[in-house]
Amino acid sequence: MLYKGSCHCGKVAFEIEGTIDGALSCNCSICRRKGSLLWFVPRGQLKLTTPDENAATYLFNKHVIRHRFCPACGIHPYGEGTDPKGNATAAINIRCIDGIDLDAIPVQHYDGRSM
């Protein structure tokens, strides 16, 4: 299925092909504050529909995840990194996807605070 999403103001927008069969809620210092529900997909499935430079990047801790956000409205629609096998991965904040029923998506809780 093709999903479309964006930050609040639309300056950072994307399309993504796939099936949302679950999301992850992490309690690490940044995810807890952002309130993201993350869907992990191969980076190639994420297509930006706005210029890449519209999104700013925040790095912290080990600097392995590029937390992408809109500098205008502050919303964090996705992040970029690599999985344990070294494959490029995107972490989509499903709260930024249009027209989905968040209550119908199973959420796994992850203890990132202890990692």
| pLDDT (0 to 100) of residue 63 | 81
List of domains in the chain: 2-114 (2.170.150.70)
Which pLDDT tens digits describe the chain residue by residue (115 residues)?
A: 999 999 999 999 999 999 999 999 999 888 899 999 999 999 999 999 999 999 999 998 778 889 999 999 999 999 999 998 999 999 999 999 999 999 999 999 998 888 7
pTM of the model: 0.93
Nearest to 48, CA basis, from 80, 71, 72: 80
User: CA distances (Å), 60 to each of 33, 43, 98, 101, 109, in order?
Assistant: 14, 20, 29, 31, 21
